[in-house]
Amino acid sequence: MARQFMKGNDAIIVGALAAGCRAYYGYPITPASEIAHAAAQHFPALGGVFIQAESEVSAINMVYGTAGMGVRTMTASSSPGFSLKQEGLSYCAGAELPCVVVNIVRGGPGLGNIAPEQADYFQITKGGGHGNYRLITLAPNGAQEMCDLTMLAFDLADTYRNPACIMADGITGQMMEVVEIPEAKPVPFDHSSWEVRGTPESSGNLISSIVLEPDELERHNLKMDAKYRDIMAKEVRCEEYRTEDADLVVVAYGVVSRIVYSAVDEARAEGLKVGLLRPITLWPFPSAAIARLAETAQRFLAVELSTGQMVEDVQLAVNGRAPVHFYGRCGGMVPGGKELLAEFKKVLEGGQS
């Protein structure tokens, strides 16, 4: 098994290549640019496509074009750029096109800064574009997962004919870890019933998101809704760390979950029963796992690099059975382990929620 020491951002492209992604369209933005750099190096070398588009808007519409041909394709950006992609994402979802989009989230709102945040949670998981749609959203917390979850994102996108998103942060993108390089396998999906390839076989197919008749558009939306319910039933992924007997369950994802692993260990060393629930899929959200823990845990604490976004989903899942507290840093400030440990103690002593 080949191993390499690489940046999380580079690992995304390794995963994409192994997953059979053939075209990358992107626009430079810090701290996501390494993804485009790696794509520019590797895609043409393998006979694939790399285009530095004239804009984020153009990049996502190029994704729309290649995805409509039944070919695996992706784009990546960071917060302000990801905002610009929302229209195109809505079209991809409406036309039911599988594709992968990456958001290496930075500080906002507006131009913000290039430091890590998680404040695009609402935009990504609740639908930043117009209309009824959802993004399947995966939140890696290390370089290996940047690779592996990108591969999974392509499979989920194809399984459900829907865009899938990798939501990471500046730290997960910039840090280097050892990555086991995966093996490329054939893509086991048949798109012949809908793809438009410019071939006699696909002639007559149509890629479109326009449905003019209200009754037909309602049917289309309900069909998509059924698909989304299916995804919610089948595709939830999360990790639990020392939650079995936890009085306090911390909910955190991405780089924050990495800090929480350490803080949980420190808390346990002091005899505090603290555990971590880490959502790996942010949509669908692991509500059932949280609801189950709410039967035994006394308190929940959502920790985010935002002023409080995912905490609302935790509250919905807990549904009043236990207090849900929130601790967040933003603007690029990242909490340290000691800071979190102090917060755990405060919450366990019955601090304000």
By CB under 8 A, the residues from 31 to 50 that bind other proteins are 31, 42, 45-49
Binding of residue 108 to other proteins (CB under 8 A): no
**Would you state the structure tokens that stand for residue 211, as one six-digit string?**
């449905």
Min separation Cβ 180 and other proteins, Å = 10
With contacts defined by CB under 8 A, name the span among 65-73, 288-296, 311-319, 342-350 that binds other proteins: 65-73
Cα 72 to Cα 4, 120, 205, 266, distances in angstroms? 24, 25, 18, 43
Binding of residue 269 to other proteins (CB under 8 A): no
Nearest CB to other proteins, comparing residues 187 and 316? 187
User: Taking the CA of residue 146 as centre, how many other CA atoms within 13 Å lie in the half-sphere pointing to its CB?
Assistant: 32
Pick from 12, 74, 250, 255: which binds other proteins (CB under 8 A)?
255
Pick from 109, 126, 131, 178: which binds other proteins (CB under 8 A)?
178
Binding of residue 338 to other proteins (CB under 8 A): yes
Enumerate residues 157-176 that contact other proteins by CB under 8 A: 170-171, 174-176
Min separation Cβ 54 and other proteins, Å = 4
**Would you state the structure tokens that stand for residue 265, as one six-digit string?**
């260990």
Pick from 40, 51, 291, 342: which binds other proteins (CB under 8 A)?
51
Binding of residue 113 to other proteins (CB under 8 A): yes
Binding of residue 285 to other proteins (CB under 8 A): no
Q: DSSP 3-state assignment of 115? A: strand
The rounded distance, in Å, linking the Cα atoms of 123 and 69 is: 27
Min separation Cβ 218 and other proteins, Å = 19
Pick from 111, 130, 131, 185: which binds other proteins (CB under 8 A)?
185
The helix (H) or strand (E) run that includes residue 2 is: none
Binding of residue 54 to other proteins (CB under 8 A): yes
Using alpha carbons, select from 177, 125, 93 the residue that is nearest to residue 284: 125
With contacts defined by CB under 8 A, name the span among 150-158, 254-262, 289-297, 319-327 that binds other proteins: 254-262
Chain-centroid distance, C-alpha 292: 24
- Report the chain's C-alpha Rg in angstroms: 20
Angle of the 143-160 helix axis to the 214-234 helix axis, nearest 10: 140
191 DSSP assignment: -
The rounded distance, in Å, linking the Cα atoms of 352 and 112 is: 29
Binding of residue 177 to other proteins (CB under 8 A): yes
Enumerate residues 293-332 that contact other proteins by CB under 8 A: 331-332
Enumerate residues 186-225 that contact other proteins by CB under 8 A: 186-187, 196-200, 202-210
Min separation Cβ 12 and other proteins, Å = 14
Nearest CB to other proteins, comparing residues 59 and 157? 59
Pick from 20, 308, 323, 351: which binds other proteins (CB under 8 A)?
20
Look-up of token digits 């976004």: 309
Min separation Cβ 234 and other proteins, Å = 26
CB atoms within 10 A of CB 294: 20
What is the spatial order of strands in the sheet that 324-328 belongs to? 238-241, 274-279, 248-251, 299-304, 324-328
Contact 331, 280 (CB under 8 A): no
Please tell me the count of residues contacting other proteins according to CB under 8 A: 89
Look-up of token digits 């985010």: 304
Min separation Cβ 253 and other proteins, Å = 14
User: Taking the CA of residue 243 as centre, how many other CA atoms within 13 Å lie in the half-sphere pointing to its CB?
Assistant: 23
Nearest CB to other proteins, comparing residues 261 and 283? 261
Min separation Cβ 337 and other proteins, Å = 6
Look-up of token digits 């840090």: 175
Pick from 12, 22, 252, 277: which binds other proteins (CB under 8 A)?
22
Length, in residues, of the chain: 353
